[in-house]
A and B are shown apart, each in its own frame.
Chain A
Amino acid sequence: MLEIDALAACLSSPACLVNQTTTGLIIGMLLFLVASGVTLIFGVLHVINFAHGSFYMLGAYFAYTAYITTGNYFVAAAAGALGAAICGIVFERLIISRVYGQNVLMQLLVCYAFILIVDDLVKIIWGAEYLSMGIPAEFRLPPYRIAGGFVPPFYLFMVAMAVIIGLGSLWIVTRTRFGKIVRAAAHNASMVSALGIRVQLYFAALFGLGCALAGVAGALAAPVRSLTPGMGLGILVESFIVTVIGGMGSIPGAFLAAIILGLTRSIGSVGFPLFVDGAMFMIMALVLIFRPTGLLGQGTLR
């Protein structure tokens, strides 16, 4: 099961190390974007959006269509984010907002229903076959060579985008007026609405923001992964693992955990290819046993 030789060979060769680290980073960044959306929505609205993977999928498909029609990747990425945000707001207003404060069972069921419907709709609109977008024209440049390893420019763009968007959403929530109102409403919604603020609008907007993060992740993933109905589930489960390891409600924690998981995945695929999933779950179980609040969690939410 363990391929020590391959692992040692990779760790001692700078080229392989660079390749695996960049792969790990882009996996980690996608996870981070999805997980920070989950954690943002949970932190404020106290619902777990089990349908979050669907917004990742929608973002990817919207970006695909926008790229095919316009040929511009930046437009495509924006379309992915915006489309996911709009779908998220509709989902929040029509469905999820009706089960706020109810037990988890109801939230789970409506999310399950939503996943079924969206997966089937995607199948009807885009077909059940694998779609692939390919590296967009803007990024068809020769890869950078760093210490013998190859780093495609698109990977750098992905990492930079993820970091900027992650920092941006952290800034929105902690520093802006919008973030302050939303956080206040999370503590005491009736008090905030008594101050003349339409709390529902803010909740919907925040839900949309969380879904936009998933949509961007989908749009960023579209060129490097194949698109298929049901693609959201894998990343949803991994982003749950990220939130558990990083600590629920902590965006920096999600960042740290996402990088740990991404590197585990990429280096593990060399050293223990059959045990990559197992390793992720082992890390999660260890965190749960020894530090149940997560690496950077505040520990009050559980």
Chain B
Amino acid sequence: MNLLREFRRDIAIAAVALLVLVAIGLGVDSPWPRDFLTSFFAFGLLAMSLNLLIGYTGLVSFGHAAYFAFGGYAFGLLMQWNGFTESLGAAALPAAFVAAIGGTALYSLVIGAICVRLTEIYFAFLTLAFQMFLYSVILSAVTITGGDQGLMGGIPRPPFLGIDLADPHHRYVFCAVVFMVCILIMRVVTESPFGYTLRMIRDNAQRAAFLGVNVTRVKLICFVVSGSMAGVGGVILALFTSGAYPEWAFWAQSGEAIFMIMLGGLNVFVGPLLGAVALRVLNDVVQMYTSHTEIVIGAVILFVVLGLRRGLLDFALDWWVERQQAKLAATNREDDKR
């Protein structure tokens, strides 16, 4: 209850945002906004969860898409396993959902336990290495995962509690609700005392340790939460595409997620979401003119990193702060004149 009161503003914003999203998805006749937004939910969760690590804790992970793919594959494989769906009946889909998230949490716990003790640079490339390991497992275990073809044959989506995820409208609303709940959870995590502990570790881990914070444990918890949230993103994408593909576990997916964060802004909560939209739009626009999208995207990254040196929302925030200060200075000067 306390939580509800403390975060009532955020909850209200989330509820309004959810209503708007649902209205857009159901109000527009064509499937395009629904498809665009559903994939935005998935990649938005990937970017937002990665920002828990990079922006809030200072753990630069280059292998975050591994948890995204793990969630998607775990969900798809469970739903395709006849023994599982038959024994659980109508409860199969929610059970698979929960099990996929739980599995992702467990997987990120194992990888995190190895990685979070290491320094920045080791952390970045070990997370990358473990991601490529998962990628090679997915590619080589052809009999289970379908190898480079991906999880084929479609993922069955039996109805439960009157929700039929095979229906595009039901699916869209379900994904939107799941997405919003996850965003709210992350909001609570970052604004809670735990979230401030994360920021303290980012700014000065040694100091945090002196104050009695168990740095390794806090980092590990953050790693697991972030991995699980990315797993939810993967489940949404698996639901949406009715399959799972090895590219989700490829390193480029992680690089893209990192760039989404950078593009949107590291220091604003919803920055990664803006980054996800911006990158998607950029991709689509570039694709209209040339098939060599990678060169253009690469050039844009270089421009943002070396030229702007911060994300779009960071830029807006700085501009706003500067303007306020200029205003303040101007009024002060007028006061002096008088």
Which residues of A approach B to under 8 Å, CB–CB?
42, 48, 50, 95, 98-99, 103-106, 108-110, 112-117, 119-121, 123-124, 233-234, 237, 240-241, 244, 248, 274, 277-278, 281, 284-285, 288-289, 292, 302
Contacts and interface: CB of A to CB of B under 8 A. Distances in A.
Contacts, number: 110
A281 B133 contact: yes
Nearest to B126: A244
A230 B17 CA distance: 40
Interface in B79-132: 114, 117-122, 124-126, 128-130, 132
B137 interface: yes
A121 B128 CA distance: 24
Contacts of B211: none
Nearest to B293: A120
A268 to B, nearest CB: 13
B208 interface: no
9 A-B pairs with least C-beta separation: A113-B301, A116-B298, A117-B298, A120-B294, A112-B255, A113-B298, A116-B294, A120-B295, A104-B60
Contacts of A109: 255, 258-259, 262, 301, 305
Given A48-B124, A244-B126, A302-B118, A116 B295 contact: yes
Contacts of B302: 95, 110, 113-114
Interface of B: 54, 58, 60, 62, 114, 117-122, 124-126, 128-130, 132-133, 136-137, 140-141, 251-252, 255, 258-259, 262, 292, 294-295, 297-299, 301-302, 305-306
Contact of B54 (A98, A105, A248): A105
A42 B130 contact: no
A57 to B, nearest CB: 14
Contacts of A278: 133, 137
Nearest to A274: B140
Given A48-B124, A112-B258, A106 B133 contact: no
A115 B60 CA distance: 18
A271 to B, nearest CB: 16
B174 to A, nearest CB: 33
A121 B296 CA distance: 11
A285 B117 CA distance: 13
B179 to A, nearest CB: 25
Contact of A114 (B119, B121, B140, B298): B298
B45 to A, nearest CB: 20
A247 to B, nearest CB: 12
A121 B251 CA distance: 19
A110 B301 contact: yes
B208 to A, nearest CB: 18
Given A50-B62, A117-B299, A124 B306 contact: no
Contacts of A244: 122, 126
B128 A112 contact: no
A284 B127 CA distance: 13
Contact of B121 (A104, A120, A234, A289): A104
Nearest to A281: B133
A116 B129 contact: no
Nearest to A98: B306
B124 A95 contact: no
B292 A124 contact: yes
